[in-house]
């Protein structure tokens, strides 16, 4: 039964029979047969079939929800038994929104010091992707925004408030200022993240609030691309204070606080809302709670 529920989860992830089978390490025939056997046992159709995967039936959507719970519990049980036998180990799968990637090391470094047998898999992803992958058991934890858009069933730990800086040439129009307003920033040609990133949606809302329509001259889903352009002192951007500090900009580029209004948004750790949690996730959550007060103070000084 667990194996067949894993097939359902793989189908939800991949939206394709062949790729789902490959992800499960079985043939497509084996996966299709397993899903069919599950349908026969439950007495309902779960998958809308055609020449290709067409989605789940209403009954299939409900079974998918149960599959996530049951498979998650089964994995938690196996991990807890293994932890009792040999201590905390395994791989913690984590993702972070691009603007929060500099903070990942503040969590993983002390955690590894306490649990040296643990490995990490860290990727950059949009906030939507993080929540989707957590729901589908593809991730153990995510670093994302907590208050702007729906998060679903997660347990969260607020870590810090993201504040914003204008990155601009030191000899530019605002390079010598102690602060700038959002209205002033609205008139500068900018390079920004792509609209599928929540940071970009936050910036767009602020610019529209002061009567401007966002029209960046360069968009990218990579912070490295944005920063390398800014470092030439020929481009400007809006970035979180923590990110600006991490990239150690050249003397030709300044990070100027954006005020009027002062805007900040909470970044935090999210994990699946499950009881009991896997030992690995529970320990990582405890680490985040211990670090949060110090992290907030460190970043507030930027």
pLDDT of residue 299: 64
pLDDT of residue 300: 53
Q: How many CB atoms lie within 10 A of CB 145?
A: 22
Residue with tokens 């040439």: 169
pLDDT of residue 107: 94
pLDDT of residue 248: 64
- Domain boundaries defined on the chain: 1-73, 86-160+266-301, 162-264
pLDDT of residue 298: 67
What whole-number distance in Å separates Cα of residue 60 and Cα of residue 54?
12
Q: How far is CA 272 from CA 94, 268, 293, in A?
A: 12, 13, 22
CA-based torsion, 77, 81, 83, 84: positive or negative: positive
Our CA dihedral for 298, 127, 199, 158, rounded to 10 degrees, sits at: -30
CB neighbour list of residue 217: distance below 8 Å, 6 or more residues apart: 189, 190, 191, 235
- Residue pair 143/268 in contact by the 8 Å Cβ criterion: yes
Q: Indicate the fold that domain 162-264 takes in CATH.
A: D-Maltodextrin-Binding Protein; domain 2 (3.40.190)
DSSP 8-class letter at 56? B
Question: Span 86-160+266-301: which CATH code?
Answer: 3.40.190.10
CB neighbour list of residue 12: distance below 8 Å, 6 or more residues apart: 56, 64, 136
What whole-number distance in Å separates Cα of residue 285 and Cα of residue 31?
35
Fold agreement (86-160+266-301, 162-264): yes
CA 4 to chain centre: 28
- Residue pair 155/270 in contact by the 8 Å Cβ criterion: yes
Give, for all 302 residues of the chain, the pLDDT tens digit: 888 888 889 888 888 888 988 888 899 889 888 999 898 888 899 988 776 788 899 998 888 888 888 888 887 777 777 776 777 888 999 999 998 988 899 999 999 999 998 999 999 999 999 998 998 888 999 999 998 788 888 999 999 999 899 999 988 889 889 999 999 998 888 999 999 999 999 999 999 999 999 989 999 998 889 988 988 888 999 998 877 777 666 788 888 999 888 888 999 999 998 888 888 899 999 999 999 988 866 665 44
Exposure on the CB side of residue 41, measured as CA atoms within 13 A? 10
- Residue pair 71/38 in contact by the 8 Å Cβ criterion: no
What whole-number distance in Å separates Cα of residue 60 and Cα of residue 56?
5
pLDDT of residue 302: 45
pLDDT of residue 197: 92
Question: Span 1-73: which CATH code?
Answer: 1.10.10.10
């Amino acid at each position: 039964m667990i194996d067949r529920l894993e097939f359902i989860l793989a189908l939800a992830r991949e939206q394709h029979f062949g790729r789902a089978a490959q992800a499960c390490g079985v043939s497509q025939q084996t996966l299709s047969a397993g899903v069919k056997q599950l349908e026969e046992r439950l007495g309902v159709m779960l998958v809308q079939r055609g020449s290709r995967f067409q989605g789940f039936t209403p009954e299939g959507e409900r079974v998918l929800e149960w599959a996530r719970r049951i498979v998650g519990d089964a994995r938690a049980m196996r991990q807890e038994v293994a932890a009792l036998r040999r201590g905390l180990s395994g791989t913690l799968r984590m993702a972070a929104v691009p603007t929060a990637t500099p903070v990942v090391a503040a969590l993983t470094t002390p955690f590894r010091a306490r649990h040296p047998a643990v490995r990490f898999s860290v990727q950059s992803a949009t906030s939507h992707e993080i929540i989707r992958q957590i729901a589908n058991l593809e991730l153990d934890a995510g670093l994302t925004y907590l208050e702007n858009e729906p998060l679903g069933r997660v347990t969260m730990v607020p870590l810090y408030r993201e504040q914003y800086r204008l990155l601009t040439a030191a000899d530019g129009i605002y390079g010598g200022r102690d602060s700038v307003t959002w209205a002033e920033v609205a008139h500068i040609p900018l390079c920004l993240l792509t609209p599928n990133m929540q940071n970009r949606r936050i910036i767009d809302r602020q610019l529209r609030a002061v009567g401007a329509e966002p029209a960046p001259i360069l968009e990218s889903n990579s912070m490295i691309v944005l920063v390398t352009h800014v470092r030439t002192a020929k481009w400007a951007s809006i970035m979180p204070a923590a990110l600006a500090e991490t990239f150690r900009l050249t003397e030709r580029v300044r990070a100027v606080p954006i005020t009027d209004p002062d805007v900040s948004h909470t970044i935090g750790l999210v994990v699946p809302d499950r009881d009991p949690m896997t030992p690995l996730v529970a320990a990582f959550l405890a680490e985040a709670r211990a670090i949060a007060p110090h992290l907030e103070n460190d970043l507030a000084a930027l």
